[in-house]
Structure 1
Amino acid sequence: MTTAFDVIVLGAGPAGSAAAIGAARAGLRTAIVDRAVFPRDKLCGGLLTARALARIDALAPLPPDALDRHDRIVFFRHGQPLGEVSGCPPVHLTTRLSLDHHLLQAALAAGVTDLTGTRVAGIEAGHLRLHDGTAPGFSILIGADGVASPTARHLFGRAFDHATIGFALEVETPPSDDRTLRIDFDAAVAGYGWRFPKSGGTTIGVGGLHRCNPDLGARMSDYLSLLGASGSARVKGHFLPFGAVRRHPGRGNILLAGDAAGLVDPITGEGIAHALHSGSLAARACAEALRAGSPGSAYGHYRRSLVPLHRELAWARMLRHLVFSPRAADRFARAFRRSDPARQRYMRLLAGEMGYPAFVGLSLARLPRHLLAGRS
Structure 2
Amino acid sequence: MKFDILVIGAGPAGSAAATWAARQGRRVALIDKARFPRDKLCGGLFTERSRATYRAVFGQDFDLSRAISRTEIAFWHTGRTLAVLHDIPPLHLTMRRDLDDTLFRHALHAGAADYSGRAIAQLSDNTVTFRDGTTISGDILIGADGVNSIVARHLFGAAFSGDSIGFGLEIEVPPTAQDPANQPLRIDFAAASWGYGWSFPKQGSTTVGVGGLHAPNPDMKARFSDYLLGLGLDPAQTRFKGHYLPFGDFRQTPGRGPVLLAGDAAGLVDPITGEGIALAMQSGQLAAQAALDALAAGAPETALPRYRTALKDIHRNLRIARRLRRIIFAPRWQKAFTATFRRSGTVRMQYMRLLAGELDYPELARSVVARLPRYLLNALRR
Q: Please, what TM-score do these two structures have when normalized by structure 2?
A: 0.94
Identify the range of structure 1 (224-233 vs 267-276) with the bigger mean alpha-carbon deviation: 224-233
How far, CA to CA, are the matches of 2:256 and 2:29 in structure 1?
Answer: 20
Report the AA paired with residue 304 of structure 2.
Y
Correspondence 1:1-376 to 2 at 5 A: 3-58=1-56, 59=58, 60-175=60-175, 176=179, 177-231=181-235, 232-367=237-372
How far, CA to CA, are the matches of 2:150 and 2:308 in structure 1?
Answer: 20
Report the AA paired with residue 118 of structure 1.
R
How far, CA to CA, are the matches of 1:21 and 1:55 in structure 2?
Answer: 13
Question: CA deviation digits over 1:230-257, x for unaligned, max 9?
Answer: 2523210000000111111000000000
Report the AA paired with residue 286 of structure 1.
A
Equivalent position SS for 1:234: coil
How far, CA to CA, are the matches of 1:120 and 1:321 in structure 2?
Answer: 39
Q: Say if 1:125 and 1:324 are closer, same or farther in 2 by CA, change over 3 A.
A: closer
How far, CA to CA, are the matches of 1:281 and 1:246 in structure 2?
Answer: 15
Gapped runs of 5+ residues in structure 1? Answer: 372-376
How far, CA to CA, are the matches of 2:122 and 2:233 in structure 1?
Answer: 42
Equivalent position SS for 2:215: helix
Q: Say if 1:368 and 1:193 are closer, same or farther in 2 by CA, change over 3 A.
A: closer
Question: CA deviation digits over 1:249-304, x for unaligned, max 9?
Answer: 00000000000000011111110000000000001001000000011111111111
Question: CA deviation digits over 1:27-57, x for unaligned, max 9?
Answer: 1100100010101111210001111011112
Equivalent position SS for 2:135: coil
Instruction: Confirm or deny: 8 A CA contact 1:77 1:184 kept in the other structure.
Output: yes
Instruction: Confirm or deny: 8 A CA contact 1:315 1:356 kept in the other structure.
Output: yes
Report the AA paired with residue 280 of structure 2.
A
Identify the range of structure 1 (321-330 vs 110-119) with the bigger mean alpha-carbon deviation: 321-330
Instruction: Confirm or deny: 8 A CA contact 1:143 1:257 kept in the other structure.
Output: yes
Question: CA deviation digits over 1:288-323, x for unaligned, max 9?
Answer: 000000111111111110010000000000110110
Report the AA paired with residue 206 of structure 1.
V
Q: Give the structure 1 partner of residue 380 of structure 2.
A: none
**CA displacement at 1:360 relative to structure 2:** 1.8
**CA displacement at 1:26 relative to structure 2:** 1.6
How far, CA to CA, are the matches of 1:44 and 1:230 in structure 2?
Answer: 21
**CA displacement at 1:357 relative to structure 2:** 1.2
How far, CA to CA, are the matches of 2:217 and 2:64 in structure 1?
Answer: 38
How far, CA to CA, are the matches of 1:150 and 1:79 in structure 2?
Answer: 40
Identify the range of structure 1 (230-239 vs 206-215) with the bigger mean alpha-carbon deviation: 230-239
Equivalent position SS for 2:72: strand
Report the AA paired with residue 296 of structure 1.
E
Report the AA paired with residue 264 of structure 2.
D
Question: CA deviation digits over 1:133-162, x for unaligned, max 9?
Answer: 110011000000000100000000110000
**CA displacement at 1:364 relative to structure 2:** 3.1
Q: Please, what TM-score do these two structures have when normalized by structure 1?
A: 0.95
Instruction: Confirm or deny: 8 A CA contact 1:243 1:263 kept in the other structure.
Output: yes
How far, CA to CA, are the matches of 2:303 and 2:312 in structure 1?
Answer: 15
How far, CA to CA, are the matches of 1:157 and 1:370 in structure 2?
Answer: 41
**CA displacement at 1:63 relative to structure 2:** 2.1
Instruction: Confirm or deny: 8 A CA contact 2:125 2:259 kept in the other structure.
Output: no
How far, CA to CA, are the matches of 1:331 and 1:64 in structure 2?
Answer: 38
Aligned length: 369
